[in-house]
Amino acid sequence: MRPSHDWISRINQKQKQLAELDTPEDQRRNIERWTEIEFVYSTLVLEGYEISREDVSRLASSQATEASSESDRQATALLESLRSVIRLAGQRGKNASLSPELLLELHNLPGSEAGLRRQTGRNSASPPPERLRAAVENACHWFTAESFAEFHPVEQASLVLLRLIDIEPFDRSNDRTALVAASLFTLRSELPPVTIEPEMKAAYRAACAEAMRMNTKAMVDLIATAVEKSIADAIEKIIKN
């Protein structure tokens, strides 16, 4: 996999532009909250839930005393998982790493039995349940290797996402948890989480299909586009306000 200097340059430029903006503390917090809302909303829509940005905003700002619907409960759990990786990235920076224990923590599904997948996976390439723990451990070890560190954070996130989808650690919602886990690798380099907006859904499915044919470029390009758009949208919001 070769880096595309075009998207790397664009992301670096936008990241620099965002960092140089004179952003008041309250506005910075608003952008952080908006980023969370966009991630949770987009990820749940990708998974097939019917939920609005307003619903997620209400939950993210603690205006709701309790989650009143299934989609609310899922959004609350996903928000907690995202905030976990945001905190970890903030505390440890590029030393933040993924572990089997953290992955289990991030798979925070209401009403779901805890633990790794107990049945045969739907993905023909996924390991059987008795080999899942070893597969997850091996993947997490690879994510800390020096050779892996040579990749751009967008490439790292893409590889983490695709590897976890391939392993299929859980009985359901593997894409959701993989997206949260992959976001650790962008967040620890002060990039936004991997937000696959609803209009990117077809491209995301196509990129997953390409990865099954050993072509990871489509996913790298998609995540680069998603990250670049998140930064550009944040810049626009700051400038407008």
Place of tokens 């990039």: 191
The tens-digit pLDDT sequence of the chain (241 residues) is 444 579 999 999 999 999 999 899 999 999 999 999 999 999 999 999 999 999 999 999 875 556 578 999 999 999 999 999 999 999 999 999 999 999 999 998 887 777 899 888 788 789 999 999 999 999 999 999 999 999 999 999 999 999 999 999 999 999 999 999 999 999 999 999 999 999 999 999 999 999 999 999 999 999 999 999 999 999 999 998 7
Rounded Cα distance between 180 and 175, Å, is: 9
Quote the tokens at residue 154.
Answer: 């967008």
Three-class secondary structure of residue 197 per DSSP: coil
How many residues belong to the chain? 241
- Using CA atoms in the order 144, 148, 154, 159, what is the torsion angle rounded to 10 degrees? -90
Residues 106, 116: contact at Cβ < 8 Å?
no
Residues 89, 188: contact at Cβ < 8 Å?
yes
Phi, psi of 121 (to 5 degrees): -75, 160
Residues 70, 77: contact at Cβ < 8 Å?
no
Three-class secondary structure of residue 34 per DSSP: helix
Residues 168, 185: contact at Cβ < 8 Å?
no
Place of tokens 């976890």: 164
Our CA angle for 229, 221, 166, nearest 5°, is 115
Tell me the domains of the chain and their CATH numbers. 21-240 (1.10.3290.10)
